[in-house]
A and B are shown apart, each in its own frame.
Chain A
Amino acid sequence: MNIGNFSARKVSRRSVVAAVAATALALTGCTSGGDDKPAEKPAGPVTIKVWAWYPEFQGVVDNFNATHTDIKIEWTNAGTGQDQYTKLQTALKAGKGAPDVAMLELQEIPTFALTKHLVDLGKYGANDVKGDYVEWAWKQVSSGDQVYAIPVDAGPMAMMYREDIFKKYGLTVPKTWDEYKQQAEKLKTASAGKSFITDFGANDGGFMSGLFWQAGAQPYNYDLANPTSIGVNVNSAEAKKVIEYWEGMVNAGLADTTAFHTTDFYNGLGSEKYATYLAAGWGPGYIQANAAKSSGKWKVAPLPQWVAGENKQGDWGGSSFAVTDQAKYPDVAAKVAMELFGAKNTEAWKIGIDKAFLFPTATPVLESDTFKNKQYDFFGGQKVNEVFVPAYNAIGPFSWSPFNSYNFNQLTTNINQAIEKKTSWTAALDTAQANVKTYATQQGFKVQ
């Protein structure tokens, strides 16, 4: 029971520790302190606790420990996504039990940074590795010289398609969303409604945000340098364009609406139900694991464009390493965050690329010949990164809100309900906008 810790939540964590250690008198004296000064290091190797849920991560950790005599990583898989975040939020709030280094998805960084529990890695040389990353990726993890996390992997979007289905029904690979719709209509007629062009997973906020991102929408205008003010524009014209398009696709029976990451969805990918899957850079590993039956039948093409000839791209997912304020040696933890999947750590990326199917963010890694020329049996020997890498490089900036769970919740809940009740999707987006604005105001933000 953490009653003691919770009731003292208004008082800073350091104060609680001091109060327990000494007397109540200490409470007033410790509001300012030498936070930046790292503690004295022990004689042996420094132990750094890491929370992450990357597949095949043990190999990366073993490799790191084998090549570092002064640092020993202790890795824990504390759950995937929200499961880990819940544990991490609780531990950060309680003031103990959090790891030194934690895996955070890119969209979660402002949420955690706002709580002031993330260490500014800029103080520990993170800006030196800035050059290893393209601009949009670095912007996801930083504000000016403040660096909240080190990027690891990303999810540039592309279109995976079933070559066999395309051949069977005489479809051509669409270059624009208009062409995509035409092919969808052709497929519906030719297959007598048996196949859909794709599945629109309205239960995945990251997926929908990726499509908004490509269309140039900026749902939030938020900078951690000015953390109390936020611009909310969830129902922008660009977002509405995307939503209206998919509303039309679904209502015409061209796209299915089975929830992503469910058995029915995986079966749809493995059978002939879906002709395309709008995927992210981590998609090859994901689809290979969940639709093994369809191996060799897939190909990857760039995401269709809104305007013919343009090269607009979006990102869906991706992650980073952040250092928490519970790290005893933040300088060592920062080193771990920078090196674990760093640009120079080719051994780690060998595992990351070949076994875990991560899409690297570090330019030297993703521009390397081994990555670009890697052939994927699942895609009939296609060098799929020839599609994903240019897509990654063309992604524009995009900012997330410091309450991303609420953001994704509003997006998915309202769109899903519009699908269920067959009501207007754009009205659903308006509802999301109104709710987010109310929420942000309630939370004390100046909403613009």
Chain B
Amino acid sequence: MTEVQNSPAVAPAAAGPSVKTGRRSHLREAATGWLFVLPFAVLLVAFLLLPMAYAFKISLYRSTLIEGEVFALFDNYKQAIDDPLVREGVVRVLIFGLIQTPVMIGIALLAALLIDAATSRFSRFFRLAAFVPYAVPVVIGTLMWGFLYSDSIGPFSALGIDFVSSDTVLASLGNIVTWQWAGYNMIVLYAALQGLPRETYESARIDGATEVQIALRIKTPMIASALVLATLFTIMGTLQFFTEPLILQPLNPGAITQHYTPNVYAYQQAFSFQQYNYSAAISFLLGAVVFIGSYIFLFATRKRSALR
């Protein structure tokens, strides 16, 4: 809002002489500002805030098959915190995030640095190729990997590895997520690299820095804020891990259980057991975890990033 109000392009009348007209034009400015924000605000309220408020409301009720619906305040939340299945899912996505995030961001950074350093036709092709998986819908991509992992028709079946056993499935899912998102993160980092002043590299080279040193000591620190952003999105994404496990579940329901991640569990509670109230409580708890997790990360990296 403040940006819009202060912008001279929007309201040049703001420089009016008298106090009275100034206030009136200020009001008009505010109205103009609201008008500009309106389409977004309507959508935000209708499709985010209202459903959230509604979900919060139903999370405060309990519904049972025999007694119907009763107000229960935070009973659902207490149950969710004590539920070992919720905890198992949270621990799993945390482990997944701890491994997945550095691996994927590492790959994305390496790829971005490589194509930034080389400006051949090959780099342009590579840039596009690495981005293609992101353009494939998650569901399609996951189904495709499901076939690739198959031990009767998959191309890796000769290796004799069961890709969807309980020991390997988390890594198999990680592979799908990396495949899908590394290219996207690469583009984010590459765009940040393109925005850096080239003279810095020049002077570094004159000072005798090698290309590797430039990449690690000059380029990487200078795109720290983009790295923080990409990492933040990845953390949020892994905590809300949902589509890939849900799609691969039929392949081995013993390994990908119905409480595999908190989101899968919430989905199952709502749509298999009609426990909408409990499901809403789990969703809100997960939302709180994502919020706190993101905040901790931002706080820890506040010196590196411009985001505060």
Q: What is the interface of chain A, defined by CB distance below 8 A to chain B?
A: 1, 3, 6-7, 9-10, 82, 86, 89, 114, 202-203, 227-228, 259, 261-264, 267-268, 271, 402-403, 405-406, 409, 412-413, 415-421, 442-445
Contact = CB atoms under 8 A, between A and B. Distances in A.
A427 B67 CA distance: 32
A416 B273 contact: no
In order of increasing CB-CB distance, the 4 nearest A-B pairs are A416-B254, A444-B66, A420-B254, A267-B152
B174 to A, nearest CB: 18
A203 B253 contact: yes
A405 B267 CA distance: 13
Contacts of B150: 263-264
B118 interface: no
B65 A262 contact: no
A202 B250 CA distance: 11
A86 B272 CA distance: 7
B39 to A, nearest CB: 18
Contacts of A3: 50, 54
19 contacts: A1-B46, A1-B51, A9-B69, A82-B272, A114-B65, A228-B66, A259-B251, A262-B251, A263-B147, A405-B272, A405-B273, A406-B272, A409-B258, A413-B253, A413-B257, A417-B254, A419-B254, A443-B65, A443-B66
Given A420-B254, A445-B65, 4 more contacts: A82-B272, A202-B253, A264-B152, A267-B153
A86 B268 CA distance: 11
B170 interface: no
Say which size band chain B's interface belongs to: 20 to 34
A13 to B, nearest CB: 13
A183 B179 CA distance: 45
Contacts of B64: 442-444
A259 B164 CA distance: 11
Contacts of A415: 254
Contact of A420 (B65, B66, B252): B252
Contacts of B258: 409, 413
Contacts of B253: 202-203, 259, 412-413, 416
A262 B166 contact: no
Contacts of B21: none
B74 interface: no
Interface string B154-171: 000000000001100000
Nearest to B271: A86
B116 interface: no
B250 A261 contact: yes
Interface string B232-260: 00000000000000000011111101100
B69 A263 contact: no
A383 to B, nearest CB: 32
Contacts of A9: 69
A193 to B, nearest CB: 13
A401 to B, nearest CB: 10
B175 interface: no
A391 B274 CA distance: 35
A295 B37 CA distance: 64
B31 to A, nearest CB: 28
A89 B257 CA distance: 24
A259 B150 CA distance: 12
B273 to A, nearest CB: 6
Interface in B138-160: 147, 150-153
B223 interface: no
B282 interface: no
Contacts of B189: none
A209 to B, nearest CB: 16
A271 B157 CA distance: 16
B195 interface: no
Nearest to A267: B152
A161 B272 CA distance: 34
Most central of B51, B69, B274 by chain A CB within 10 Å: B274
B58 interface: yes
Contacts of A228: 66
A406 B166 contact: no
Nearest to A419: B254
B208 interface: no
Contact of A268 (B147, B152, B250, B257): B152
Contacts of A268: 152
A171 B153 CA distance: 28
Interface string B271-287: 11110000000000000
A202 B254 contact: yes
Given A264-B150, A442-B64, A445-B65, A420 B251 contact: no
